């Protein structure tokens, strides 16, 4: 095969939160092929593993079962004659046994797409790994089903880390990101924002001193961390690129993906307590009665009207508390909507 197999864009944390909510609520398809959603589903706790994000250029290698291969950048197939920062020339210069060893690790008769960051001198500026000789850092791989090129068959790349120990990969300037420091966090998606502070702490730690550069004998700033769910039977439904996200440090001025917005945990707790008190059973029932009075159908289609009524009523009746607490409308809007939505679907199911 000789197809461009683009590496997927890695999501922002806010997008992953939406994907987790959808996956947790999805119950299957009805007879009209429409999704069946459990709007009252409890959000899961997911364990994530973080690896150092490197500032270079995305470079892929596709190896076919007959040992033929080709290279690609993020957007196009490349060759030694039409290259991208010399990556294709590098791959074509490797001894044959290196690529044979690389392919053999995956125990398959299908093509394998191996993705990494081509990084080092002259590729990017202002980061620790810019001091090293250009090297390829593998961070993902998937087995390709030629009948379904979009199929997500992502592999554990830690199996490749042994390539450094047996002196096959590292002497040829190939590294596996799992050789370097990794990070772990468990995120409770019922209260996902409570994890933001820890995610920022780890990102700043990497930004202050790139762990990859340091392990290779150099100093300099790092870019950030890429997070993906830990692969386990308990988390099988989240083994997908839809649940990967990245957090970068502020020092990468060319990037539009910054550190996550800081969260004041004490303030967030106070907001949740305020919502608990203000979006109470009595007020929510008033909103339900408002829909009936205004002859809105008591069905899913009216949920936006319901949430808006509850939000506006809280703003009007609790104005003094909101001002005294220093809450902003945008800070309380999300939690009000979440509680109102859960109550509304519960009410629908009972009726």
Domain membership of residue 204 (yes or no) is yes
One domain, residues 76 and 125: yes
User: What is the CB neighbour count within 10 angstroms for residue 196?
Assistant: 19
Domain membership of residue 253 (yes or no) is no
One domain, residues 198 and 155: yes
Q: At residue 110, does pLDDT exceed 50?
A: yes
**Given this model, what pLDDT does residue 170 score?**
84
Q: For residue 259, what pLDDT band results from cuts at 50, 70 and 90? A: low
Assign residue 103 the CATH number of its domain: 3.30.470.30
225 contacts 203 by C-beta, under 8 angstroms: yes
Domain membership of residue 259 (yes or no) is no
Query: What span, in angstroms and rounded, lies between the C-alpha atoms of 136 and 217?
Result: 17
One domain, residues 269 and 244: no
* Ranges 109-123, 174-188, 241-255, 298-312: which has the least confidence: 241-255
One domain, residues 169 and 52: yes
Among 248, 279, 310, residue at a domain's last position? 248
One domain, residues 64 and 213: yes
One domain, residues 181 and 44: yes
One domain, residues 103 and 180: yes
pLDDT digits (tens, 9 = 90+) for 204-227: 999 999 999 999 999 999 999 999
Domain membership of residue 257 (yes or no) is no
The residue with greater pLDDT, 267 or 17, is 17
User: What is the CB neighbour count within 10 angstroms for residue 49?
Assistant: 17
Phi then psi dihedrals of residue 258, to 5 deg: -110, 180
**202-226 burial code (b ≥16 CB/10 A, e <16):** bbbebbeebbbbbebeeebbbbbbb
* SS3 of residue 229 by DSSP: strand
pTM for this model (two decimals)? 0.76
The residue with greater pLDDT, 170 or 266, is 170
Domain membership of residue 134 (yes or no) is yes
Domain membership of residue 136 (yes or no) is yes
- Across the chain, the runs of DSSP E, i.e. the strands, are 26-29, 35-37, 45-53, 57-63, 69-73, 77-78, 112-119, 135-143, 174-176, 182-188, 224-229, 245-248
Domain membership of residue 254 (yes or no) is no
Domain membership of residue 1 (yes or no) is no
> Domains in the chain: how many in total?
2
Residues in Cβ contact with 34 at an 8 Å cutoff, skipping those fewer than 6 apart: none
Domain that holds residue 276: 265-350
One domain, residues 299 and 190: no
Query: What span, in angstroms and rounded, lies between the C-alpha atoms of 292 and 345?
Result: 16
Q: At residue 240, does pLDDT exceed 50?
A: yes
246 contacts 227 by C-beta, under 8 angstroms: yes
pLDDT digits (tens, 9 = 90+) for 69-102: 999 998 899 999 999 999 999 999 999 889 998 9
């Amino acid at each position: 095969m000789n197809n461009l197999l683009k590496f997927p864009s890695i999501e922002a944390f806010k997008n992953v939160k939406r994907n987790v909510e959808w996956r947790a609520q999805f119950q299957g398809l009805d007879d009209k092929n429409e999704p069946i959603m459990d709007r009252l589903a409890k959000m899961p706790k997911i364990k994530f593993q973080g690896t150092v994000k490197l500032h270079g250029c995305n470079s892929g290698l596709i190896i076919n079962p007959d040992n033929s291969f080709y290279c690609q950048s993020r957007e196009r197939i490349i060759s030694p004659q039409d290259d991208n920062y010399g990556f294709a020339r590098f791959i074509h210069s490797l001894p044959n046994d290196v690529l044979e060893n690389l392919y053999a690790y995956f125990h398959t008769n299908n093509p394998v797409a191996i993705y990494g960051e081509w990084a080092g001198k002259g590729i990017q500026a202002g980061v620790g790994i810019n001091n090293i000789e250009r090297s390829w850092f593998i961070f993902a791989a998937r087995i390709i089903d030629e009948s379904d090129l979009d199929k997500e068959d992502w592999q554990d790349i830690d199996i490749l880390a042994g390539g450094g120990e047996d002196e096959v990969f590292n002497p040829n300037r190939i590294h596996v990101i799992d050789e370097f420091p990794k990070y772990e966090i468990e995120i409770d998606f019922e209260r996902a924002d409570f994890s933001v502070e820890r995610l920022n702490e780890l990102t700043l730690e990497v930004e202050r001193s790139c762990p990859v550069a340091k392990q290779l004998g150099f100093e300099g700033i790092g870019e950030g961390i890429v997070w993906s769910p830990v692969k386990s039977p308990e988390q099988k439904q989240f083994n997908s690129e839809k649940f990967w996200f990245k957090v970068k440090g502020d020092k990468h001025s060319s990037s539009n993906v910054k550190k996550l917005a800081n969260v004041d945990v004490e303030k967030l707790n106070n907001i949740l307590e305020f919502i608990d008190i203000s979006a109470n059973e009595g007020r929510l029932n008033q909103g339900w009665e408002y829909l009936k009075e205004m002859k809105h159908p008591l069905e899913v289609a009216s949920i936006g009207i319901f949430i808006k009524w509850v939000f506006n009523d809280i703003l009007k009746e609790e104005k003094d508390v909101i001002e005294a607490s220093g809450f902003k409308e945008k800070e309380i809007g999300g939690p009000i909507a979440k509680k109102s939505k859960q109550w509304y679907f519960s009410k629908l199911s009972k009726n």
